[in-house]
Homo-oligomer: A and B are copies of this chain.
Amino acid sequence: MGILIKNGTVVNAHQTLSADVYCDADKITAIGKDLEVPAGTQIIDADGKLVMPGGIDPHTHFELLFMGTVSRDDFFSGTAAGLAGGTTTTIDMCIPDPGQSLLEGVSVWKQRAEKAAADYSFHVAVSSWSTRVSEEMGEVVKTHGIPSFKHFMAYKGAYMVDDEAMLHSFARARELGAIVNVHCENGDAVAYLQADLLRRGVTGPEGHPLSRPIEVEAEATNRVISIAQITKTPLYIVHVSCKEALEAVSRARLSGQKVYAEALGAHLTIDDSVYKSADFDEAAGFVMSPPFRSKGHCQALWNGLQAGHIQVVASDHVTFNKEQKRMGRDNFAAIPNGTGGIEDRMSLVWDGGVRRGLLSPEEFVAVTSANAAKIYNMWPRKGLVAPGADADIVVWDPHASKTISAKTHNHATDFSIFEGRTVTGIPSATVARGRIAYLNGQLRAERGAGRLVKRYAFGVAYAANHA
């Protein structure tokens, strides 16, 4: 039974036009006016609305064992919340235990992801170097269709990788036509500052941003760009949070280097005043890394999106309940790092970007969906409303509003960092793999409906070199 989305305006990253869209099973099969459709076709009326490719969130952590606890949203609740927010594809960070084989890590993650309500893929984290890692990287790309590898420059004693390992991993990624992505904070500096603050008696959440100042992120960003320049590997910086890190990205791009950057919905809209709350639960709720910055940095990120130096907005979704955050009641460094946002991501960008006149609707599609599809080698199957593409569509109401709240959100956590914020621009329907997964406020997520998306290597990041 197909789906016909009628009377809407189709917005792709490259073009806007008035047309109806027909989905047959899990594919879009026709776009046009007065389409003939079979009897029994489900009709979604998109009059006054925008028909856009379903969102892609290329940075999530579902069911993550981290800092001694497990994050609240798993692949089902997480992808379901995504669907409620218009996101139909996620790429989760598959982080093998230190010493664990990459392939075992992939195997664990595949199992966890079986309950996903929407399509997904993984990035696989490399945190040390060996011949085995090198060989397994090949398997991961070629056998599993996962051509992207994550590296953490922070979290000393856990995921943190050193420069030597990154040099080898990056060089190997280049051989394989894969892209590397990196969490940029100098882990030595964070550890030093944490110890120094604790020694001086700073134990509350206000110590968190002090232990991860801008120079810690800007330094690592600049460093990893140099490393990627040496190995000539396309590089994607996750969650750029500050002006100085963005400037490092811009310098690199202006010298012709292939560097992509991601901002988070949260960093675009929240500033560091949140850490000043005297209420531990309130302040600890915002503990994530990199931390929130002063207001000027939020604006710098919007400008980066406008200028094309930041290509993607993600969520870095990883949720903990208040009780979990309280593990760091006496020591900010023990507060589980992470915040939720997959459901809110697209509305935050529309509200802050399009409604304020900073981004056009086409640019909205680019930064919430199409660019991630291109960079991460799912294009044109994902990120595009066109015949032949997957039937992943969001019908967007640019004028409707909602007020975000833990009382109503679909995240499996007991608070929201966006509590009380009213955003204009929300989905009225989400179609995923040819199923109506969300309609007029009603979530119809189906456990296990999602599939692993096999991604190709040597994609757009390598296109210039392989023309």
User: Would you call A360 an interface residue if the criterion is a C-beta within 8 Å of the partner chain's C-beta atoms?
Assistant: yes
- Chain B residues, Cβ within 8 Å of A398: 467
Cβ distance A355 to chain B, nearest Cβ, rounded Å: 8
Complex-state Cα separation, A308 to B191, whole angstroms: 34
User: Would you call A188 an interface residue if the criterion is a C-beta within 8 Å of the partner chain's C-beta atoms?
Assistant: yes
Cβ distance A193 to chain B, nearest Cβ, rounded Å: 7
Complex-state Cα separation, A216 to B223, whole angstroms: 9
Of residues 359 through 411 on chain A, the ones whose CB sits less than 8 Å from some CB of chain B are: 359-363, 370, 379-380, 384, 398
- Chain B residues, Cβ within 8 Å of A255: 303
Cβ distance A111 to chain B, nearest Cβ, rounded Å: 35
Tell me the nearest residue of chain B to A243, going by C-beta: B254
Proximity string of chain A (215-259) to chain B, C-beta cutoff 8 Å, 1 when within and 0 when not? 110110011001101100000000000000000001001111000
Query: Do A309 and B254 touch across chains, with their CB atoms under 8 A apart?
Result: yes
- Chain B residues, Cβ within 8 Å of A227: 189, 219
Of residues 282 through 311 on chain A, the ones whose CB sits less than 8 Å from some CB of chain B are: 296, 302-304, 306-309
User: Would you call A13 an interface residue if the criterion is a C-beta within 8 Å of the partner chain's C-beta atoms?
Assistant: yes
Residue of B167, B229, B309 touching A192 (CB-CB under 8 A): B167
Tell me the nearest residue of chain B to A219, going by C-beta: B226
Complex-state Cα separation, A358 to B462, whole angstroms: 10
User: Would you call A168 an interface residue if the criterion is a C-beta within 8 Å of the partner chain's C-beta atoms?
Assistant: yes
Proximity string of chain A (10-29) to chain B, C-beta cutoff 8 Å, 1 when within and 0 when not? 00111101000000000000
- Chain B residues, Cβ within 8 Å of A188: 162-164, 167
- Chain B residues, Cβ within 8 Å of A354: 464, 467
Known contacts A14-B13, A15-B380: A256-B302 contact under CB 8 Å: yes
Tell me the nearest residue of chain B to A193, going by C-beta: B230
Tell me the nearest residue of chain B to A226, going by C-beta: B219
Number of interface residues of A (CB under 8 A): 61
Tell me the nearest residue of chain B to A188, going by C-beta: B163
- Chain B residues, Cβ within 8 Å of A39: none
User: Would you call A138 an interface residue if the criterion is a C-beta within 8 Å of the partner chain's C-beta atoms?
Assistant: no
Residue of B13, B213, B309, B359 touching A464 (CB-CB under 8 A): B359
Query: Do B463 and A360 touch across chains, with their CB atoms under 8 A apart?
Result: yes
User: Would you call A460 an interface residue if the criterion is a C-beta within 8 Å of the partner chain's C-beta atoms?
Assistant: yes
Complex-state Cα separation, A254 to B163, whole angstroms: 29
Known contacts A360-B460, A398-B467, A464-B359: A216-B230 contact under CB 8 Å: yes
Cβ distance A54 to chain B, nearest Cβ, rounded Å: 17
Cβ distance A11 to chain B, nearest Cβ, rounded Å: 10
- Chain B residues, Cβ within 8 Å of A14: 12-14, 370
Cβ distance A156 to chain B, nearest Cβ, rounded Å: 9
Query: Do B218 and A189 touch across chains, with their CB atoms under 8 A apart?
Result: no
Residue of B164, B168, B307, B360 touching A254 (CB-CB under 8 A): B307
24 inter-chain pairs at a CB distance below 8 angstroms, sorted by A residue, are: A14-B14, A163-B188, A167-B189, A189-B227, A192-B230, A193-B230, A215-B230, A219-B222, A219-B226, A219-B227, A223-B223, A253-B307, A254-B303, A256-B302, A256-B307, A354-B467, A357-B464, A357-B467, A358-B464, A360-B460, A361-B463, A362-B460, A362-B463, A363-B463
Going nearest first, the 6 A-B pairs with the smallest beta carbon separation are A360-B463, A219-B226, A163-B188, A14-B14, A215-B226, A256-B303
| Beyond known contacts A168-B192, A171-B196, A256-B307: 6 more, CB 8 A cutoff | A164-B188, A167-B192, A218-B226, A219-B223, A222-B223, A250-B254
